Amino acid sequence: MLAETTAFTLDGIAARTVRVEVDVHRGLPSFQIVGLPDAAVREARERVRTALVNCGYEFPLRRITANLAPADLRKVGPGLDLALATALLGAGGELPLSAISGWAFAGELALDGSVRPVRGALAMAEAARAAGRTGFICPAHNGPEAALAAGVEVRTIDSLAALRSLGGGELPGERTSASGLGDEPELPDIGDLRGQGFLRSAMEIAAAGGHGLLMVGPPGAGKSLAARRMPSILPPLAGDEILEVARIASACGTGNGRVSTARPFRAPHHTVSPAGLVGGGSPVRPGEITLAHRGVLFLDELCEFSRGSLEALREPLENGQVMISRARGSQILPSRFMLVAAANPCPCGRGEQDPGCECIAAAIRRYRGMLTGALTDRIDMTVAVTQPEAGAMIAPSEENSAEVRKRVVSARRLMADRFGPGGTNASASAGDLAGFELDEGATGLLGEAYRTRGLSGRAHERIRRLARTIADLDGGGPVTESHLAQALQLRRRTGR
């Protein structure tokens, strides 16, 4: 007898539909899975066999062939276990074929028949809706996350034994509703950053417009402390942004079944490979820049990263997405992140102006050479960070994150009116730039800077975006000469 169910396999952050066909017929007892399965899928034979027996089902001692279609798509991970077991129950006569044909399944089986959570449940539920399935059956842990896909009924089960209800015409498991938004975690407060007024101002501008920020200074000046407080002044996720981030976290297994309005913060170690940073592998797995989508990517000790990893950031910084190309096809992964980076001025960290610096000129050039002009041209602001005065370290805290965040949210509201939900000045297109109003003084100053400072065309546009953000923080009027001068100062790599 032949039975068919629907399952899914992850491809990047998307779920690809898989038709699971199981045929049971006379012959020597065997269980074969075809259709380009990986090792985890091939091993499903033993998990399915043992789970069925331990749940009281009869395992057919016949020739069993399971086909996973389309045959040219590589099937990965243990998420097909539940669909394979259900189709086998239908082909063996344990469940009616009409009861299982309209459902989609996802779940890993334990040997006792319990159903374990899988990655990508949200994307799979959306794929089930697109395929017109009756509903989506998944582990209880994945239920609230999968229910975010409106338009498809999500049922959760804890054990394979729960599928017996399908034989009696009842719905299996429990119906699940979308989880509520989790509370934002308690974040470090920007009030801890003392004696760095210029840096605090740069952080506020970066947060408001989504601009990249590079901090250069000696160890202990507060660069890492500042970067880890950036999420506390960013506005919370809203609307479609929540689903975008939840879909990525689900596919990468970092969501823990929760949905939050907190923006992602990723801080990979400088030994990360190019594939780990931008994504890659076979099958394609998202990298750190995709995990930081709509949030912050913090690269500490920037000059210690490999040249290949840093150069791989150029296109994502420009386009907000990365294309991973392989022989079997290509995947486009979202990567609209805000880059915050920190670097020392020289290998020893003290800087050439410090009498204690013993770095030779060649070593300094080699160290700074890791940051090519093509990369730094894509970073909107570069701020020199110096050691704060002793008095500032014991002075009372300055403005806290809640107060700064109010101004950032107000500026983001102006940008949403200008570009639509989720739009920022940093991601404005060339067409949007034409609508940025500059007064006469700002226009003249920008033209003079372009001629005298040898700005690239990209730098010219990024300065305009940066000045627009400063104007939005100042109330949203036209860009004035003062706003543009501040943008040029931030681009000029000067400190306080």
Q: Which of 206-215, 240-249, 255-264, 481-490 has the lowest mean pLDDT?
A: 255-264
Cβ within 8 Å of residue 496, ≥6 positions away = 196, 197, 198, 199, 386
Distances (CA, A) of 357 to 30, 350, 382, 402, 429: 72, 6, 22, 39, 43
Bigger pLDDT: 70 vs 329: 70
pLDDT on residue 181? 63
pLDDT-derived band at 182 (thresholds 50, 70, 90) equals low
The CA distance from 340 to 289, in Å, is 12
Q: Which of 380, 400, 420 is the last residue of a domain?
A: 400
Q: Is the per-residue pLDDT at 310 higher than 90?
A: yes
pLDDT on residue 430? 81
Q: Which of 381, 400, 419 is the last residue of a domain?
A: 400
Q: What are φ and ψ of residue 261, in 5° steps?
A: -90, 0
192 touches 407 (CB < 8 A): no
| Residues 222 and 343 both lie in one domain | yes
The CA distance from 404 to 401, in Å, is 5
Which run of H or E residues covers position 338? strand 338-343
pLDDT on residue 384? 92
pLDDT on residue 460? 92
In a domain, 408, yes or no: no
| Residues 361 and 456 both lie in one domain | no
pLDDT-derived band at 92 (thresholds 50, 70, 90) equals very high
| Residues 109 and 163 both lie in one domain | yes
The CA distance from 99 to 293, in Å, is 40
pLDDT tens for each residue of 45-76: 999 999 999 999 999 999 999 999 999 999 99
The CA distance from 56 to 54, in Å, is 5
The CA distance from 13 to 283, in Å, is 11
pLDDT-derived band at 1 (thresholds 50, 70, 90) equals confident
Q: Is the per-residue pLDDT at 175 higher than 60?
A: yes
| Residues 214 and 101 both lie in one domain | no
Q: Which of 352, 383, 400 is the last residue of a domain?
A: 400
In a domain, 413, yes or no: no
pLDDT on residue 496? 37
Question: Reading across the β-sheet that carries 381-384, which strands appear in turn?
Answer: 265-266, 296-299, 338-343, 213-216, 381-384
Q: Is the per-residue pLDDT at 494 higher than 50?
A: no
**Structural domain containing residue 15:** 2-175
pLDDT on residue 119? 93
| Residues 304 and 224 both lie in one domain | yes
| Residues 123 and 237 both lie in one domain | no
The CA distance from 33 to 42, in Å, is 6
DSSP, res 185: P
| Residues 258 and 291 both lie in one domain | yes
In a domain, 453, yes or no: yes
The CA distance from 90 to 107, in Å, is 17
pLDDT tens for each residue of 232-257: 999 999 888 998 999 999 999 887 66
26: domain CATH number?
A: 3.30.230.10
Q: Considering its fold, how many domains does the chain have in total?
A: 3
Mean pLDDT score across all residues of the chain = 91
pLDDT on residue 186? 84
Please count the other Cβ atoms lying within 10 Å of the Cβ belonging to residue 393: 11
pLDDT on residue 337? 96
Q: At what angle do helices 121-130 and 240-252 cross, to 10 degrees?
A: 110
Distances (CA, A) of 475 to 209, 233, 410, 415: 14, 18, 9, 12
pLDDT tens for each residue of 459-470: 999 999 999 999
The DSSP line for 235-259 is PPP-THHHHHHHHHHHHHT-STT--
The CA distance from 490 to 215, in Å, is 11
**For range 319-339, the mean pLDDT:** 88
Cβ within 8 Å of residue 125, ≥6 positions away = 136, 138, 146, 147, 148, 149, 152, 154
Q: Which of 28-42, 383-397, 470-484 has the lowest mean pLDDT?
A: 383-397
| Residues 164 and 37 both lie in one domain | yes
52 touches 90 (CB < 8 A): no
Single-letter residue type at 484: L
Q: Is the per-residue pLDDT at 493 higher than 60?
A: no
In a domain, 181, yes or no: no
In a domain, 202, yes or no: yes
In a domain, 421, yes or no: no
| Residues 10 and 56 both lie in one domain | yes
460: domain CATH number?
A: 1.10.8
Number of H helices, E strands in the chain: 22, 17
**For range 27-47, the mean pLDDT:** 95
DSSP 3-state percent helix, strand, coil across the chain (nearest 5): 40, 20, 40
CA-wise closest residue to 328 among 121, 128, 39, 75: 75
pLDDT on residue 234? 96
| Residues 254 and 365 both lie in one domain | yes
pLDDT tens for each residue of 350-392: 777 777 788 888 888 888 888 888 899 999 999 999 888 888 7
In a domain, 437, yes or no: yes
DSSP, res 118: -
Sign of CA dihedral 332, 337, 342, 345: positive
pLDDT-derived band at 278 (thresholds 50, 70, 90) equals very high
275: domain CATH number?
A: 3.40.50.300
| Residues 195 and 171 both lie in one domain | no
pLDDT on residue 171? 85
Q: Which residues pair with 105 in a beta bridge?
A: 137
284 three-state secondary structure:
coil
pLDDT-derived band at 495 (thresholds 50, 70, 90) equals very low
Exposure class string for 472-487: b at 16+ Cβ within 10 A, else e: bbeeeeebbbbbbbbb
pLDDT on residue 434? 79
Q: Is the per-residue pLDDT at 333 higher than 50?
A: yes
**For range 337-349, the mean pLDDT:** 93
In a domain, 405, yes or no: no
The CA distance from 477 to 472, in Å, is 7
| Residues 98 and 151 both lie in one domain | yes
Share of the chain above pLDDT 70, in %: 97
pLDDT tens for each residue of 120-160: 999 999 999 999 998 999 999 999 889 988 889 999 999 99
**For range 263-269, the mean pLDDT:** 96
